[in-house]
Structure 1
Amino acid sequence: MQFNDLLRAHDIDPAMTALALHKPRDPRIRAALCVMAESAPGLFEAYQSTHPTIPEATLKARRTMAAFLSRAEGELTFIGLYLQAGWRDVPAAELDAMPLQAEMRARLGQGGLSAEARARGIAARALFDLRPLDVLSDLRGRLVVTDPGARNYMRLAERTSLPVREITLRATLAPPVPDWRALRLTTDELRHLPRDWITTLHQWRGVYLIVDERDGARYVGAAYGEDNLLGRWQAHVAGEIGVTVELRRRDTSQFRFSILELLSPAATAEEVITCEQNWMDRLHTRRYGLNA
């Protein structure tokens, strides 16, 4: 089955539908978009309300837009179907001043559009009025199609093959929690975790490492108790400065978190602290790092 078969079954003409296949090359931006789509849809709508010149022209000529998002290599997850209800040209500086646009770009680690517009000689961008439709809304986060490949993300539906790979029972937009050995989180990512990640980190306890990416300084910590890693890490980034003696002297915005050793949920505080002391010794974080 093709995605176009689903469109036709609901009287949606593929010839009047644009496909927005959101799949930025930067994995951190892809992950941030997945979190936005799941927990901050207003920011995600801000993201897809403007487009570069060529995709913009494609969308202007279409009545509907189907949005997809890359969660895993080779596949795209359906976000929703939208009515393209018009647009207005907005100067880049005005777009930069819009709160949702500014927050969205900050979350993605992107600067404003003004400098880019000046460099490319573009006075304004079209700001689209995209209105979510009920059609296929029950498949949001559940319908997975095969990525057709190539870099261009705004496609013509009638010319694009999107084979349906699966329809899952549970809607999931955020990427799966990685193996604990591969988990790396920046401060900003920690402040905007997907729902499933929050649940997992709430259950995990163990010994962790914080690296201040400004100078590479390291801190070893232990997480146990009711909220485990989730609670301890969130405490570290709750304010603008750290929570321990040495970390209080540092801006938290450039911290990166990882797990050195994952312990059983039944491990006692004494067992976790013993492992923590061992890692401090192995990494020399008392003499050369941020542990007191």
Structure 2
Amino acid sequence: MPFRFNMLLEEAGIDPAKVRLLRHQPTVGGQSLADIWRNDPSLFELYQAAQATAQRVQFSRAYWAAFIGTWDGRTMFVGLYEVDAPTLIAEDRVAPISGVVDPGGQYDHYPTSLADALKGYAGRLFIDWGGGASGKRAWVQKAETQDKLVTELTLDASDRPFPGLMELTAPLSSLDAAPPTWAQRLKEARGVYLLTCPRDGSLYIGSATGEGGFWQRWSEYRANGHGGNVAMRGRERSDYVASVLEVSGSTATPDDILAAEASWKRKLLTGQFGLTRN
């Protein structure tokens, strides 16, 4: 028999008809929501607590089962929340995380508290939300009519196998939410990488020659949005998708890696059509 989310609710004595399923997007305001949930759960809860008044019928349930979409297309369970009656937010306010100004009278605040039920599954349990990797289905659903298939249950929230340097493809904004073992692998490796703009497909090819490897170089883009690249500096900030084109051997010198980078630039014509300016 398939393992489904409602089995866990019923085992905990919770009627699925009292539960709304919420799937949050991977990033908010350019920041990884999973990273915020791990490091500052109160900020995540404050963000989640504000919902549109026009959709009050969608959210007024005894429980919210909260999920976050991950950068690799999965849907991660982050907690079951007990929900009290909403109150209207009458004044304009600056939304947590995104910094967007929410107009007064259009949003409710829901007092929530993390339930003990299912707490041990947070960060470990993944479901099939539907709609493919993008999760392009309604982000709020009824648990009683949408009994989600459990696709993965890990022993530890951070214990996911590294996919391999040549298989890894991830938005830069999501890398801080990756397990520490992944960061270590990326720090140890040097070579040539590709950044792809998700808005228009523009390509940038760069190289990681320093001791911090790919991780250090990609962290620079995360910090300032351009990593020192002239073409990126003059563009609207984007959540570039990073991947590895070539891993250099341990004996490769910085000049060897730069030569490999130049070769890839010629092959992919990033000087003529991409974001390469050198």
TM-score of the superposition, structure 2-length normalised? 0.70
Q: Which structure would you say has the larger Rg?
A: 1
Decide whether the 8 Å contact of 1:217 with 1:289 is kept in 2: no
Cα offset for 1:130?
1.3
Q: Following the alignment from structure 2 to structure 1, what is the Cα–Cα distance between the partners of residues 198 and 157?
A: 35
Decide whether the 8 Å contact of 2:171 with 2:241 is kept in 1: yes
Cα distance per residue 1:70-123 (max 9 Å; x no partner):
4466x64322111113332103622xx25xx2x2x36xxxx5433xx8xxxxx3
Q: Following the alignment from structure 2 to structure 1, what is the Cα–Cα distance between the partners of residues 196 and 129?
A: 36
Cα offset for 1:67?
1.6
What residue is the counterpart of 1:278 in the other structure? 263
Q: Give the secondary structure class of the aligned counterpart of 1:151.
A: coil
Q: Following the alignment from structure 1 to structure 2, what is the Cα–Cα distance between the partners of residues 128 and 199?
A: 40
What residue is the counterpart of 1:204 in the other structure? 189
Please show how residues 94-105 of structure 1 align to structure 2 within 5 Å.
94=93, 97-98=94-95, 101=96, 103=97, 105=98
What residue is the counterpart of 2:23 in the other structure? 22
Q: Following the alignment from structure 2 to structure 1, what is the Cα–Cα distance between the partners of residues 228 and 138?
A: 45
Residue 58, structure 1, aligned to residue 58, structure 2: yes
Cα offset for 1:273?
2.6
Q: Give the secondary structure class of the aligned counterpart of 2:51.
A: coil
TM-score of the superposition, structure 1-length normalised? 0.67
Please show how residues 170-189 of structure 1 align to structure 2 within 5 Å.
170-171=156-157, 180=166, 183=169, 185=171, 189=173
Between structures 1 and 2, the one with greater helix share: 1
Residue 157, structure 1, aligned to residue 143, structure 2: yes
Percent identity, aligned pairs only?
A: 25
Question: Which amino acid in the other structure matches residue 45 of structure 2?
Answer: E
Q: Following the alignment from structure 1 to structure 2, what is the Cα–Cα distance between the partners of residues 223 and 193?
A: 18
Question: Which amino acid in the other structure matches residue 234 of structure 1?
Answer: S
Pairing partner for 2:220 from 221, 235, 258: 235
Please show how residues 102-181 of structure 1 align to structure 2 within 5 Å.
103=97, 105=98, 112-114=101-103, 123-147=105-129, 151-171=137-157, 180=166
Q: Following the alignment from structure 1 to structure 2, what is the Cα–Cα distance between the partners of residues 214 and 145?
A: 28
Question: Which amino acid in the other structure matches residue 137 of structure 2?
Answer: R
Q: Give the secondary structure class of the aligned counterpart of 1:83.
A: strand
What residue is the counterpart of 2:252 in the other structure? 268
Q: Following the alignment from structure 1 to structure 2, what is the Cα–Cα distance between the partners of residues 77 and 37?
A: 11
Structure 2: segments with no counterpart, 5+ residues: none
Q: Following the alignment from structure 1 to structure 2, what is the Cα–Cα distance between the partners of residues 129 and 156?
A: 20
Cα distance per residue 1:45-78 (max 9 Å; x no partner):
2342123346532332x222222334466x6432
Q: Following the alignment from structure 2 to structure 1, what is the Cα–Cα distance between the partners of residues 167 and 31?
A: 18
Q: Following the alignment from structure 1 to structure 2, what is the Cα–Cα distance between the partners of residues 212 and 154?
A: 29
Q: Following the alignment from structure 1 to structure 2, what is the Cα–Cα distance between the partners of residues 147 and 214?
A: 24
Structure 1: segments with no counterpart, 5+ residues: 118-122
Q: Following the alignment from structure 1 to structure 2, what is the Cα–Cα distance between the partners of residues 12 and 230?
A: 43
Q: Give the secondary structure class of the aligned counterpart of 1:51.
A: strand
Cα offset for 1:127?
0.9
What residue is the counterpart of 1:223 in the other structure? 208
Cα offset for 1:138?
0.8
Decide whether the 8 Å contact of 2:124 with 2:154 is kept in 1: yes
Quickly say closer, same or farther: Cα 1:179–1:232, change in 2 above 3 A: closer
